[in-house]
A and B are shown apart, each in its own frame.
Chain A
Amino acid sequence: MLARVRHLHLKARHLTDALLMGEHRSKRVGQAIEFADYQEYLPGMDLRGLDWRVWGRTDRFVVKRFETETELPCAVVLDLSGDLTTGASGIKGYPDLDRSKAGYAITLAATLLYWLHRHGEPVGLELIAGDEVAFRSLPSRSGRNHLQLCFLMLASAKAGGVAGLAGALARVGEHVRRRSWVAVITDGMEEPGEWLGSLAAFSRRGADLRFFHLFDADEWALRFDRPALFYSPEGGEVLAVDPAGAQAAFAEVVDEYVEEVRGGVVKHGGRYFDTSTAQPLEHLLRRAILDQPSRAVTRR
């Protein structure tokens, strides 16, 4: 497990470094410092705060007090429902971080957490569905240990179960801190009409919502060789489908579905990112975090 955590950590750091390359920004990027007032020195206070110029002029020990900008609490909401199991699995059934939908989602979440941590923001993690999960919710905190805890949570998680997006998103939205930065990573494979309304919980709390709509390009193109009985790992109806005959209609349905989800996200103040597992994560992150255009933004 530790090896998996380390692997995840390295992957996240590598991606973050790639993002930060050439950016030339301070470690405390995003943290502005402004003078507020003076306070008489009391024993135990940090000596680094003493204003030596005031002591020289007045022989008094005063401590400069600075007003730091409000921290930007960040939270990553990760949907690990059963539908994300489709695709390749790694050792012991853990999702392959490179080839499966669940692995892509976990890597994306880890990278976001690491990147935010590197910018000194408190980060938190909310897991929706998933099996063998030690913690469901890690509130936003700073510190390396907290980040490691998040990584451990991600590394140990397996996709499974039913997301119940409507209830889960509403619950997370109610508890997220105000004006926080929230990334929701999900395949959204539940009726959009049922769960899109739950995004209102985030907008009500002034969150900066980034919605990563995860999908497998082959699945959404219905690229299969022969007719088969298709089923969902989350259960439900088994459908006999001839992919060749249904591709055209499926493409229509996908377009309608994407537009429906995109519209719902935008309606609630979020930013929508189509997140194909075939797309390099770096490109996605450039679009999502740095607002740089991706060179390859395709679903299929």
Chain B
Amino acid sequence: MSLGLLAPFSLVLAGLAALPVIAHLARQTPRDRMAFGAMLLLERVVKRLRRRRRIKDWFLLLLRVLALVLLALAAAGPRLTYPGGVPEFGGTGRVVIVIDRSMSMSLTEAGSTLLSRARDEGVRVLDQLPGGTQVGVVVFDEHAMALTSELTDDLDRARSLVRGIQPTHGVSDLKGGLHEARRLLGGEPGEVIVVSDEAGPVAVREARPELEALVELGSTVLPLTVKGEPPRNVAVTEASYGSGEEGGSLTLKLANYGPQSIEVACEVTLPDGQQIPIFADLPPEGEAAERLTIPQEALGGVGAAVCQDPDLPADDARYFHLPRVGASRVLVVDGDPGDTPTRSEVYFLERALAPWGGVKSGVAIDVTAPSGLASLDPEKHRVVFMANVADPRPFGPLLTEFVRKGGNLVITAGDNITAERYNAALGAILPAPFRKPRSLADREEQGVPLLLPTTDHPLFAAFSRSGRSAFASVRSHRILTLEAYKDRPDEVTTLLQYEGGAPALVERRIGAGRVLVWTSTVDWSWSNFPLQAAFMPSMQRLVHYLGGESGNGAARFEGIVGEPVRIPLPDLNVDPDVVGPDGSVVRSRMEGSQVVFTPERAGAYRLEIEDAAPLAWIAVNTNPVESDVRPYDTLAAVERELNPELFVRHADLSGGLLGFAFGALVLQALLALRRSS
């Protein structure tokens, strides 16, 4: 703060202040002498009067001197310079109002949201602008958008645009908002009024370059901050599924951005509708993690964790992926229940796929007799193992349809296999028609070993670092033979071969479905494969490759509100739809082999084609950054760093001094009048 004078020479007038002093000292004394018999009393009176008059006269003198000094100071034109909280507004005639409509502006306080207050502020500013002012209106959330294509003097339209601004669930792109404002100003100076809560740790910091550009342009940024007093918000910032007891665990992270500790009631809704209530104690401006157990059986999909918070409801829900747990995705059709475990394919498959049980292994298998195929549910089972099943004909159409709709069928050979029946029932989907089994070696001999697989294929990629050589120990002395075929890319592929070229594992792709034929057995009647080290990882990789793991039936993706979500598509001939949380189709577009859409609200989205299981689940959430409604940097502070001159205020003190001088003159006149009377 400093004081300056426009006309310092006027201070010479302050010399007039000496006049009343001289007049005060030049009072005359009487000359007549008079004997007085009560001098004792007169002395007392004089003392008393002197005391009073001394005070009164000096006060009078002070008032007169003060009046003259004030007059002289007023004539000198004193100006007080002091720092202001925000830059001074007005003067350029070019104004851009930038209004924040991001999620944090939906914070509710005293019955109204910050955005409604921001709209009111914007209208108030517009009301105060003089006619002829060129104005522009910009809104921003994760994207900034100019509501007026250029500056306009139609203030009514600008008011209407401001009143029509609606909240979104996006993040604050303050930088973009300032950029749009600069664009509207067209490279010329102006005033940018930013109505925002300036909340969050990054919004203002990221906007600094744009602020610098505006200041360099000679513009003034005038922040009008609207915020809660104090800002309060509770948000679910993370929900993730992980291993644990029962069906696994769900870990929730909650954040309290308010200054007081709070207990919130939350409810977790699993994809199958099961609800689990929890309560969380949150420290002031702190976080808490809550862990809850998922039941042993639950459908896969997208679940929601919702906490009650009246301040900012938009971020009270967190959507998370939950795999299908506790229920099998693999169906093993046991065509030859053996009299001993070692003669049972199911025995070896169970040990290989779920050595610690279905829940912990992630692969749980259902076993059924061939007649159980009648109730095959493509939603539930993604992989069907036909283990030495004698006659597939009753289920041929069912299995064919299953594969065509994306199901996976694995056929393993055995003594029960009859080529004619298989060719008749499944000929349309087999890699090649079956022929009769044939012996590669005598039973007493070791059999023919497998050739080492190529690790380029996803099925064997996991063996690239180690374990590949174990395949050399797999030997078979009898196999199911196939009619001659040729590998065709993306259709028929021989994945494993025996020495001598006989196929061991052949794949055929049909749309999204696959059929794999293992030409030997998965017990040790024809092969030693179940006893080899390569067996268990091979089977698990096979199930994984075919999407038979729990919950792996559909792809899982994450998304952020307001940001494009890109989903790579499998090779399909039909365009899938993106279905939103409310069941309606969301607008999407194809970019190459990707479906792209931009969610506007949080929730469970899915990518699906008609009459088929979802191809992908997308859990869309709000950006946790936007939930942090606390103030960090402020635009005013950054702008003050960039150009402190903008914050300097001037006040002309002449009027006030004149008023005080007049008051002093009136007061001294009253005192003098009273004294003389």
Q: Could you tell me if A191 and B40 are in contact, using CB atoms closer than 8 angstroms?
A: yes
Q: Which residues of A contact B32 (CB under 8 A)?
A: 226-229
| Residue with the highest number of chain B CB atoms closer than 10 Å, among A86, A232, A253, A254 | A253
- Bits for B29-52, please: 1 = Cβ < 8 Å to A, else 0: 111111111111111111011001
Using a CB-CB cutoff of 8 Å, which residues 207-244 of chain B contact chain A?
A: none
A7 to B41, CA, bound (A): 34
Q: Could you tell me if A101 and B37 are in contact, using CB atoms closer than 8 angstroms?
A: yes
Q: Could you tell me if A230 and B41 are in contact, using CB atoms closer than 8 angstroms?
A: no
Using a CB-CB cutoff of 8 Å, which residues 1-57 of chain B contact chain A?
A: 29-46, 48-49, 52
A254 to B33, CA, bound (A): 22
Q: Could you tell me if B41 and A226 are in contact, using CB atoms closer than 8 angstroms?
A: no
Q: Which residues of A contact B38 (CB under 8 A)?
A: 83, 187, 189, 215-216, 219-220, 254
Q: Could you tell me if B45 and A224 are in contact, using CB atoms closer than 8 angstroms?
A: no
A236 to B41, CA, bound (A): 13
Q: Could you tell me if B40 and A216 are in contact, using CB atoms closer than 8 angstroms?
A: no
A229 to B43, CA, bound (A): 12
- Closest Cβ of chain B to A149, distance in Å, is 29
Query: Which of chain A's residues has its CB closest to B38's CB?
Result: A219
Q: Could you tell me if A83 and B34 are in contact, using CB atoms closer than 8 angstroms?
A: no
- Known A240-B29, A249-B49, A253-B48: A85·B35 in contact at CB below 8 Å: yes
A189 to B39, CA, bound (A): 8
Q: Could you tell me if A241 and B37 are in contact, using CB atoms closer than 8 angstroms?
A: no
Q: Is A55 an interface residue (CB 8 A)?
A: no
- Closest Cβ of chain B to A179, distance in Å, is 33
Q: Which residues of A contact B45 (CB under 8 A)?
A: 241, 246, 249-250, 253
A86 to B36, CA, bound (A): 6
Q: Is A238 an interface residue (CB 8 A)?
A: yes
A216 to B34, CA, bound (A): 15
Query: Which of chain A's residues has its CB closest to B41's CB?
Result: A253
Q: Could you tell me if A226 and B37 are in contact, using CB atoms closer than 8 angstroms?
A: no
Number of A residues with CB within 8 Å of any CB on chain B: 40
Contact of A86 among B37, B40, B42, B43 (CB under 8 A): B37
Contact of A190 among B30, B31, B40, B49 (CB under 8 A): B40
Q: Is A123 an interface residue (CB 8 A)?
A: no
A209 to B30, CA, bound (A): 43
Q: Could you tell me if A229 and B34 are in contact, using CB atoms closer than 8 angstroms?
A: yes
- Known A246-B49, A253-B44: A239·B39 in contact at CB below 8 Å: yes
A226 to B31, CA, bound (A): 10
- Known A226-B32, A238-B33: A231·B44 in contact at CB below 8 Å: no
Using a CB-CB cutoff of 8 Å, which residues 73-126 of chain A contact chain B?
A: 83-87, 101
A83 to B41, CA, bound (A): 12
Q: Could you tell me if A230 and B29 are in contact, using CB atoms closer than 8 angstroms?
A: no
Query: Which of chain A's residues has its CB closest to B46's CB?
Result: A239
Q: Which residues of A contact B30 (CB under 8 A)?
A: 226-229, 240, 242
Q: Could you tell me if B46 and A241 are in contact, using CB atoms closer than 8 angstroms?
A: yes
- Closest Cβ of chain A to B666, distance in Å, is 23
Q: Could you tell me if A83 and B33 are in contact, using CB atoms closer than 8 angstroms?
A: no
Q: Could you tell me if B44 and A257 are in contact, using CB atoms closer than 8 angstroms?
A: yes
| Residue with the highest number of chain A CB atoms closer than 10 Å, among B34, B38, B44, B45 | B38
Q: Which residues of B contact A237 (CB under 8 A)?
A: 39, 43
A233 to B44, CA, bound (A): 17
Q: Could you tell me if A230 and B39 are in contact, using CB atoms closer than 8 angstroms?
A: yes
Q: Which residues of B contact A84 (CB under 8 A)?
A: 37
Query: Which of chain A's residues has its CB closest to B30's CB?
Result: A227
Q: Which residues of B contact A253 (CB under 8 A)?
A: 41, 44-45, 48
Q: Which residues of B contact A227 (CB under 8 A)?
A: 30, 32
- Known A239-B42, A240-B29: A189·B34 in contact at CB below 8 Å: no
Q: Which residues of B contact A245 (CB under 8 A)?
A: 49
Q: Could you tell me if A257 and B29 are in contact, using CB atoms closer than 8 angstroms?
A: no
Q: Could you tell me if B40 and A189 are in contact, using CB atoms closer than 8 angstroms?
A: yes
Q: Which residues of B contact A187 (CB under 8 A)?
A: 37-38
Q: Could you tell me if B48 and A83 are in contact, using CB atoms closer than 8 angstroms?
A: no
Q: Could you tell me if A231 and B35 are in contact, using CB atoms closer than 8 angstroms?
A: yes
Q: Which residues of A contact B49 (CB under 8 A)?
A: 245-246, 249
Q: Could you tell me if A232 and B37 are in contact, using CB atoms closer than 8 angstroms?
A: yes
Q: Which residues of A contact B33 (CB under 8 A)?
A: 228-231, 238
Q: Could you tell me if A230 and B40 are in contact, using CB atoms closer than 8 angstroms?
A: no
- Known A241-B42, A249-B45, A257-B44: A229·B37 in contact at CB below 8 Å: no
Query: Which of chain B's residues has its CB closest to A187's CB?
Result: B37
Q: Which residues of B contact A228 (CB under 8 A)?
A: 30, 32-34
Query: Which of chain B's residues has its CB closest to A87's CB?
Result: B37
| Residue with the highest number of chain A CB atoms closer than 10 Å, among B33, B45, B52 | B45
14 contacts between A and B (CB under 8 A): A85-B37, A189-B41, A190-B40, A219-B36, A220-B38, A227-B30, A228-B30, A229-B29, A232-B37, A233-B35, A236-B39, A236-B43, A238-B33, A257-B44
Residues of chain B touching chain A, judged by Cβ–Cβ distance below 8 Å, are: 29-46, 48-49, 52
Q: Please give 16 more A-B residue pairs, beta carbons under 8 A apart, in addition to A189-B37, A252-B48.
A: A187-B37, A189-B39, A215-B38, A216-B38, A220-B38, A220-B41, A227-B30, A228-B32, A228-B33, A228-B34, A230-B35, A230-B36, A230-B42, A249-B49, A253-B44, A253-B45
Residues of chain A touching chain B, judged by Cβ–Cβ distance below 8 Å, are: 83-87, 101, 187, 189-191, 215-216, 219-220, 222, 224, 226-234, 236-242, 245-246, 249-250, 252-254, 257
